[in-house]
Homo-oligomer: A and B are copies of this chain.
Amino acid sequence: MTTLEEDLEDAAAAPRGAGAVHPGVRRARAWLSRAVEPGTVDLWRYVEEVGPVEAVRRLRAGSAPAGIRSLVGARVAEDATLPDLRRAEACGARLVVPEDGEWPAYQLHALTVAVADEPLVRRDQSKRTQALVPPMALWVRGPARLDELTERSVAVVGARASSAYGEHVAGELGHQLGERGWTVVSGGAFGIDGAAHRGALAAEAPTIAVLACGVDRSYPAGNGALFHRIAEDGLLVSEWPPGCAPLRHRFLVRNRLIAALTRGTVVVEAAARSGAQATAHRAQKLGRPVMVVPGPVTSALSVGCHELLRDEHVGAVLVTTAAQVIEAVGRIGDDLAPPIERPGSPRDGLSDVAARVLDACPVRTGVSPERLARSAGCDVLDVLRVLPSLELAQLVEWTGTGWRLAPPPKPPGAAA
């Protein structure tokens, strides 16, 4: 068993780009993932600048800049990397790092672009819970490849204390997205999140839960069986090492990942001032489509949804079906939603005069074309011109003495 420092030294001396990721690099990122809360702009920049191995070496040696050292604070002397990696292995998880081929670099590129907008001075930067910073590494549990599963993925998020309506819609969306080969990404919470995951699983489609705690923990505990099923085909993903607790501030930080890993975010039910709204705002800032399922205006659980739809700055799209979701996030042309079918009527093609003559026809006693002309407000010649086509369409009939409305057609299968 090597110490952290030995591993780092070994990694620093190893030739670059030599195929597999050096264990020291992975161990450095494992250390960073526990030492500093995710979402910290300055640490991410420092690691980008000097590399993960050198960053950890300098932090441990006390030679990193004071501003960076203060980010780690009291955790600097601790090293739980080996227990963390072992604990991950024990639950079928692994640490995916940016140096891996599996890293979802394409999707997460939006965070790299966004973090460039953060000011240099820490005082002026976004709050950590809102900053759009790429993750340092991702703890991933499950058999699927993270980059492949997120390639065609949609976030479906919403209230924990959801209504039966919201759960039904989230479940349907999850199911239909799964059926069409799209990965549902959500937060594994009660309510909308869980319903979306379950819908996808019911379609035998892999789904991803992005957690605010270690991937070996079941939070909420009531979703333990759900997490177990997700880990069988899909993925549990977290920025925090195994064992970490789901602290409140972590959920806000986690939300940016749900938005970043997917092509767009669907909000199904959201109260005012909700985490789902926060995720939607992250998606909008990352340039990803924000889609919102409306609900009854009498429901407090749809207030957040309707606020998003009214906010011109967000530019959210109202969606009612999975097809409309796919149209919003899919490739143009490939994934167009079919138009809603409307019932047709034989009246649709009628000219103005024909419609008026038809409306002028009585239900019972037939009347003369002259009387029809007066009622309809047109010439007798007009009436005589349109009657044949109305008769052909079985809208009117000749009684022997005059014209009247034809009885409506019998439904197919009715007794003669």
Nearest-CB residue, chain B, relative to A274: B342
Checking B128, B247, B249, B377 against A73 with a beta-carbon cut-off of 8 angstroms, the contacting residue is B377
Complex interface: chain B residues within 8 A of A347 (CB): 248
Q: Which residues of A259-305 have CB atoms within 8 Å of chain B's CB atoms?
A: 272-273, 293-298, 302-303
CA of A374 to CA of B294, assembled, Å: 44
Question: Judging by beta carbons under 8 Å apart, are A318 and B293 in contact?
Answer: no
Q: How far is the CB of A171 from chain B (nearest CB, A)?
A: 12
Checking B35, B297, B298, B356 against A377 with a beta-carbon cut-off of 8 angstroms, the contacting residue is B35
Complex interface: chain B residues within 8 A of A70 (CB): 378-379, 382
Q: How far is the CB of A217 from chain B (nearest CB, A)?
A: 15
Nearest-CB residue, chain B, relative to A337: B310
CA of A359 to CA of B212, assembled, Å: 13
CA of A310 to CA of B324, assembled, Å: 10
Give the number of times this chain occurs in the complex, counting copies: 2
A165 on interface, CB distance cutoff 8 Å: yes
- Against B, the Cβ 8 Å flags (1 = close, 0 = not) of A316-328 are 0111110010000
- Against B, the Cβ 8 Å flags (1 = close, 0 = not) of A336-376 are 00001111000100011001100110000000001001100
A127 on interface, CB distance cutoff 8 Å: yes
- Against B, the Cβ 8 Å flags (1 = close, 0 = not) of A109-131 are 00000000000000000011100
Complex interface: chain B residues within 8 A of A165 (CB): 296, 298
Question: Judging by beta carbons under 8 Å apart, are B324 and A318 in contact?
Answer: no
A203 on interface, CB distance cutoff 8 Å: no
CA of A72 to CA of B377, assembled, Å: 6
Q: How far is the CB of A206 from chain B (nearest CB, A)?
A: 25
A295 with B293, Cβ < 8 A, contacts A127-B352, A340-B303 known: no
- Against B, the Cβ 8 Å flags (1 = close, 0 = not) of A163-184 are 0010011000000000000000
Question: Judging by beta carbons under 8 Å apart, are A294 and B273 in contact?
Answer: no
Q: How far is the CB of A55 from chain B (nearest CB, A)?
A: 16
A298 with B168, Cβ < 8 A, contacts A74-B378, A318-B306, A340-B303 known: yes
Chain A contacts to B: CB under 8 angstroms: 35-37, 70, 72-75, 78, 127-129, 165, 168-169, 247-250, 272-273, 293-298, 302-303, 306-307, 309-310, 317-321, 324, 340-343, 347, 351-352, 355-356, 359-360, 370, 373-374, 377-380, 382
